[in-house]
Copies of this chain bind each other. A is one copy, B any other.
Amino acid sequence: MTDTTRIKLAVDAMGGDFAPKEIVKGVNLAIKNNPNLELVLYGDESQIKEYLEENERVSIVHCSSKLDMGVKDPIREIRTNKDLSLSKAFQAVHDHECAGAVTCGPTQGVVVAAHMIVKKVPGMQRIALCPIMPEFGGKSRLLLDVGANVELRPEHIVQIAHFASVYLKESNGVENPLVGLVNIGSEPGKGREVDKETYEALKNDPQINFFGNIEPKEMFFSDCDILVTDGYCGNLVLKTLEGTAKAVGKELEKAIKSSFWSSLGYVLFMKGAMKKFKKKVSGDDVGGALLFGVDGVIVKSHGSSNAYTFSKAIERCAMGVRGNYVEVMKQRLSAESSDQNQDK
């Protein structure tokens, strides 16, 4: 498969705080920048048309409803309402009409809908939400799970580490990705019982290039490509990262504004550098989180995504489709399962 292959993706045009406006503008941007991309938008047709720049590579499938950001019971909503833009976009992936889907919908709803509609790859025990972290130190890293599962057993973590390793190899060309286990100390034997067992399981797996335990204070300075943990801890790490980056940014602003001279210096010389810095720290270029374990490339972008961020999420999804990692992982799991059957 080469870069000229046309890739068709489903877009949930109604998910997120600024839908459909920013979503559709993101679609316009992605279509302009990626000549081989074809997008199907799911949502309110008249609202979408207000912002959509006409293009033969974009079509609309009208949906009468959407999954609200504050939805209390997404499972019930997804079960009972068959005309949700999110569900219909995911159905298109399940039916192989589209190769992947992108949404800014509420995380829990996206995870549930992926489970129920796209469905897990046969043999996968859990699905995992995997954001790409800001590229500090010029290196991109995956952290997972960050919230699809509150708790995970060691064998689940090993399996999602496989999935992430296959993704990085197939889609990003990273040979032998290095996997670290998020923990409170770097020595073996640190952490909770589940961490000690997971450490042993990862260490003894011949298909995983295991780094060992990694403390979060080192995560941006190590060679690890993939950081694994359960959904509860991963979510804490991710949200602490977000909160700290935001707080540090605000302190920086305050420091600059604290004197006449530094304010002047900022305006005269530093605006460009600061803009670059802010963009890096905000993670706008990252393009959302991937949902690993389901039978399709699903990208969940921030609820607060703007057009630029959303266009990057679409590109991330296309990159995943091009890498074909879901197929590779499917074949591996199917081979393992037939090995196990022969062993019996």
**0 or 1 for each of A267-278: is its CB under 8 Å from B? (1 = yes):** 011101110110
Contact status B136-A236, CB under 8 Å:
no
B contact residues around A269 at 8 Å (CB)? 261-262, 264-266, 268-269
How many copies of this kind of chain does the complex include?
2
Residue of B nearest to A271 (CB): B262
Interface SS, A side: helix
For A220, list chain B residues within 8 Å (CB): 243-244, 246-247
Q: Does A151 contact B (CB under 8 A)?
A: yes
| Total contacting residues, chain A, CB less than 8 A | 55
CB-based contact A273/B262 at 8 Å: yes
Verify B239–A217 contact, CB threshold 8 A: yes
Q: What residues of B have a CB within 8 angstroms of the CB of A241 in the complex?
A: 240, 244
* A250 contact from B136, B235, B258, B265, Cβ within 8 A: B136
Interface residues, chain A, with chain B CB atoms under 8 Å away = 136-137, 147, 150-151, 182, 184, 191-192, 215-221, 231-233, 235-237, 239-252, 255-256, 258-259, 261-262, 264-266, 268-270, 272-274, 276-277, 280-281
Q: Using A215-B239, A215-B243, A237-B237 as known contacts, list a sample of 13 further A-B pairs with CB atoms less than 8 Å apart, ordered by residue number in A.
A: A136-B248, A137-B247, A137-B250, A151-B192, A182-B236, A184-B239, A191-B232, A192-B232, A216-B240, A216-B242, A220-B244, A264-B269, A266-B270
- 25 example contacts (A-B, Cβ-Cβ < 8 A) are as follows A151-B192, A184-B231, A184-B232, A192-B232, A215-B243, A216-B243, A217-B240, A218-B243, A220-B243, A220-B247, A221-B243, A221-B247, A233-B233, A236-B237, A240-B244, A241-B244, A251-B281, A255-B273, A261-B269, A262-B270, A265-B265, A265-B269, A265-B270, A266-B269, A270-B270
